[in-house]
Chain A
Amino acid sequence: MTAIDSASEVQAAESVKTPDLLGPWALMWRQFRRHKIAYFSLFIVGFVYFVALFGEFLSPADYLKTNTRAPFAPPQGIHFLAPDEDGDSRFLLHARGLKMEIDREAMRRHFVEDPEKVIPLGFFVKGHEYKLLWLMPTNRHFFGPIDPKQKVYFLGADRLGRDILSRIIMGTRISMSIGLVGVAVSLIVGVSLGGISGYYGGWIDNLIQRVIEFLRSIPTIPLWMGLAAAIPLDWPPLRTYFVVTLIVSMIGWTTLAREVRGKFLSLRHEDFVVAARLDGLSDWEIIRKHLVPSFASHIIASLTLAVPLMILAETSLSFLGIGLQPPIVSWGTLLKEAQNIRTIIEAPWLLIAPGTTIVVAVLALNFLGDGLRDAADPYAN
């Protein structure tokens, strides 16, 4: 009866002026759009994951290929005007080849750009073979030297002459996915333990809370170091990857569990939950149909904020040499190359390029999470 009444009322109102009836998710989206930096960060994060997905296509060179003739080659700029035979300059996208010079006084060799050597660059060029999205075999690359035999280092090369740009791109895949997998693990553990703790209360709540307090009271780095150092060096890379992810997510779940518990505690005695229980719904149904939807937005926000923490944790461990091991490339293993001051002085791009990537990615994820958290409660103001 009342449903029909209100429906006809709405219809009557519609003929006069359509009221804005937005669902909670639409309200959140609207609130989120207002947070300019967070909205902008959404695109950056999207771009980073795009890079992670299409890594091989975007990288100009094979990230594992060494080049004995270009150790510590400096970054090569992209130039637009090249001189032709008559001495006039015309438009040509190109890089300049490197020339080795030996500094007799310091007894060191270093590279300079040679304006004579013109390496034409182009889009969708042919390069090394790979499988796009693990499926389609191809050899096209987004950008690079048109002649596949030429080598250009846009962000310089490391001590073995490997292309830093390609390595950063391929490392993006590992680092960003560790964030995602780690968060998935934290989500499962955190939500189940936090849910049990908050929904049932009593001794089990007490136990879980003590375990969480215990885990949080130990300094993480020594603990992680101990665990990570226990990973045998001869394990296959994939297994190391998953164990490192597990170690990293060990702390993440505690925050989430606390949050879920708090939400459960505050919602447990809300009228709609009591009503559902009186209607004869089982515990599981109440949790799934009523409790989870009412705090899902908060969980999403906390998860987003947990991703950068995991990325930083993995980076720290790999940097210390006890996380991921070569040949796996992550942002942390890249920074490991820049561990001592002498290398940094000689080849600052080893530090600057991966460092900037990490900071930008983590910053964007933080802003995104912050915006999501503000938007998670659209009824707050």
Chain B
Amino acid sequence: MIGFILRRVLYMVPTVFLVSIVTFIIIQLPPGDYLDTLAAEMGEAGADNTAVVEQLREQYGLGQPIYLQYWKWMSGILLEGDFGISFEKNLPVTDVIWDRLGWTFAISLLTLGFIWIVALPIGIYSAVRKYSVGDYVATLLGFIGLAVPNFLLALVMMYVAFKYFGQSVGGLVSPEYLDQPWSWAKFANLLQHIWMPVFVVGTSGAAALIRIMRANLLDELYRPYVVTARAKGMSEFQLLMRYPVRVALNPFISTIGWILPTLVSGEIIVAVVMNLPTTGPLLLRALLVQDMYLAGSLILIVSMLTVIGTLLSDVLLAWVDPRIRYQ
């Protein structure tokens, strides 16, 4: 088991390295840099500031060749935990991003839990009562869940919540709680808000997982070992839970690997619509004004945490299923 984990961690190193390179190339792609934007803005104000801009460029090392800039950025991160400076906010990137990243992953993990809680029973029901009314309803809802884009669902839910329930929309807490310290009232208010993004982000994933669970379980349900167990006189529910569901769960766990990236993606786009204090709006803004270290750090950390999440799901899978461990 330990050997397996070590091997997987070793595999992760080149992946993370590649992620960092790709990220850096992406944030370098747009022509010009933040200082050009700045210079253009200052130029509109009518002042001549070539000297100031040049000095800034020198200070941030923006005129250097790309590989040097990359090296500077990476060594800063690895050796000092310094992700560079957010040009627009004029603050170190680390000051800006951590609580936003925390919210992104809190919402993503909550969503994962939500998906599991919803998809597992519905998937089992769909398989056991194949072609029943419930199965058809679940299948139809699943298809609709896959067909409605996240952000569209978010917009519709905000509209409904506002128009028919008079709930304040957007954000994770009501405006009056924004600057207050944490309290029970604020926490309760948070719960009133957070279910909406969780539901919105989770629908498509839940829809996909229901279908996977149904297909997996259907493969197992008619196996001889199930018939044998039934012949022994085992109660149907106990039998279901003890054998076929356990086998069908395996692919279910491995799907966390690909579901996590989609959840993080979904969270980011929904956050822009619902104006949540997570990475989404920050990343979009940073990309638009070419605040490159901020954008780069966000993409890098989000991707890395996703890679780690995938690793965890692999380890979990190996722990559940010995066949994978010894491959």
Q: Which residues of A contact B (CB under 8 A)?
A: 213-214, 216-223, 225-227, 229-230, 232, 308, 312, 315-316, 319-322, 335, 338-339, 341, 344-345, 348, 351, 355, 358-359, 362-363, 366-367, 370
Q: Which of A219, A220, A223 is the one whose CB lies under 8 Å from B26?
A: A223
Residue numbers in A under 8 Å from B151 (CB-CB): 316, 319, 335
Determine if B200 is an interface residue (Cβ-Cβ < 8 Å).
no
A338–B143 CA distance with the chains assembled, in angstroms:
24
- Tell whether, in the assembled complex, residue B15 and residue A225 are in contact, meaning their CB atoms are under 8 Å apart: no
- Please tell me which stretch of B110-118, B223-231, B283-291 contacts chain A, meaning at least 4 of its Cβ atoms lie within 8 angstroms of it: B283-291
Determine if B84 is an interface residue (Cβ-Cβ < 8 Å).
no
Residue of A nearest to B19 (CB): A218
Residue of A nearest to B306 (CB): A219
Contacts A222-B298, A341-B162, A351-B155; A217 near B26 (Cβ below 8 A): no
- Tell whether, in the assembled complex, residue A316 and residue B29 are in contact, meaning their CB atoms are under 8 Å apart: no
Q: Which of B27, B170, B261, B262 is the one whose CB lies under 8 Å from A226?
A: B27
Contacts A223-B26, A341-B158, A359-B152; A217 near B261 (Cβ below 8 A): yes
- Tell whether, in the assembled complex, residue A219 and residue B310 are in contact, meaning their CB atoms are under 8 Å apart: no
A370–B211 CA distance with the chains assembled, in angstroms:
12
Residue numbers in B under 8 Å from A223 (CB-CB): 22, 26, 299, 303
- Tell whether, in the assembled complex, residue B152 and residue A355 are in contact, meaning their CB atoms are under 8 Å apart: yes
Q: Which of B18, B144, B158, B268 is the one whose CB lies under 8 Å from A219?
A: B268
Q: Which of B144, B146, B269 is the one whose CB lies under 8 Å from A316?
A: B269
Residue numbers in A under 8 Å from B298 (CB-CB): 222
Residue numbers in A under 8 Å from B268 (CB-CB): 219, 221-222, 225
- Tell whether, in the assembled complex, residue B262 and residue A220 are in contact, meaning their CB atoms are under 8 Å apart: yes
A-B contact pairs, 18 of them (CB 8 A): A217-B307, A219-B264, A221-B265, A221-B268, A222-B303, A225-B287, A226-B26, A226-B27, A227-B26, A229-B295, A230-B26, A230-B29, A230-B30, A322-B287, A344-B155, A345-B163, A351-B155, A370-B143
| Nearest chain A CB to B261 CB, angstrom units | 4
- Tell whether, in the assembled complex, residue A216 and residue B261 are in contact, meaning their CB atoms are under 8 Å apart: yes
A232–B288 CA distance with the chains assembled, in angstroms:
11
- Tell whether, in the assembled complex, residue A363 and residue B147 are in contact, meaning their CB atoms are under 8 Å apart: yes
- Tell whether, in the assembled complex, residue B261 and residue A220 are in contact, meaning their CB atoms are under 8 Å apart: yes
CB interface residues, B 8-34, toward A, < 8 Å = 15, 18-19, 22-23, 26-27, 29-31
Residue of A nearest to B146 (CB): A366
| Nearest chain B CB to A335 CB, angstrom units | 7
CB interface residues, B 135-174, toward A, < 8 Å = 143-144, 146-152, 155-156, 158-159, 162-163, 169-170
| Nearest chain B CB to A122 CB, angstrom units | 34
Residue of B nearest to A225 (CB): B287
- Tell whether, in the assembled complex, residue B30 and residue A229 are in contact, meaning their CB atoms are under 8 Å apart: yes
A221–B287 CA distance with the chains assembled, in angstroms:
13
Q: How many residues of B contact A (CB 8 A)?
A: 50
A367–B140 CA distance with the chains assembled, in angstroms:
10
Interface string of B195-218 (1 = CB under 8 A from A): 000000000000000000000000
| Nearest chain B CB to A328 CB, angstrom units | 19
Residue numbers in A under 8 Å from B294 (CB-CB): none
Residue of B nearest to A220 (CB): B265
Determine if B194 is an interface residue (Cβ-Cβ < 8 Å).
no
- Tell whether, in the assembled complex, residue A335 and residue B152 are in contact, meaning their CB atoms are under 8 Å apart: yes
Determine if B128 is an interface residue (Cβ-Cβ < 8 Å).
no
A230–B143 CA distance with the chains assembled, in angstroms:
34
Residue numbers in B under 8 Å from A217 (CB-CB): 15, 257, 261, 303, 306-307, 310
Q: Which of A225, A312, A335, A341 is the one whose CB lies under 8 Å from B284?
A: A225
Residue numbers in B under 8 Å from A220 (CB-CB): 261-262, 265
A308–B170 CA distance with the chains assembled, in angstroms:
28
A42–B310 CA distance with the chains assembled, in angstroms:
37
A363–B163 CA distance with the chains assembled, in angstroms:
27
Determine if B221 is an interface residue (Cβ-Cβ < 8 Å).
no
Residue numbers in B under 8 Å from A219 (CB-CB): 261-262, 264-265, 268, 302-303, 306
**In the complex, which of the residues A222, A321, A344 has the most CB atoms of chain B within 10 Å of its own CB atom?**
A222
Task: Give me 16 other A-B pairs in contact (C-beta within 8 A), A218-B307, A222-B302 excluded.
Answer: A214-B15, A217-B310, A219-B261, A219-B306, A220-B261, A222-B265, A223-B26, A223-B299, A226-B27, A229-B295, A232-B31, A321-B288, A341-B162, A351-B156, A358-B152, A366-B143
A355–B22 CA distance with the chains assembled, in angstroms:
34
Residue of A nearest to B264 (CB): A219
Residue numbers in B under 8 Å from A218 (CB-CB): 19, 22, 261, 303, 306-307
A315–B144 CA distance with the chains assembled, in angstroms:
17
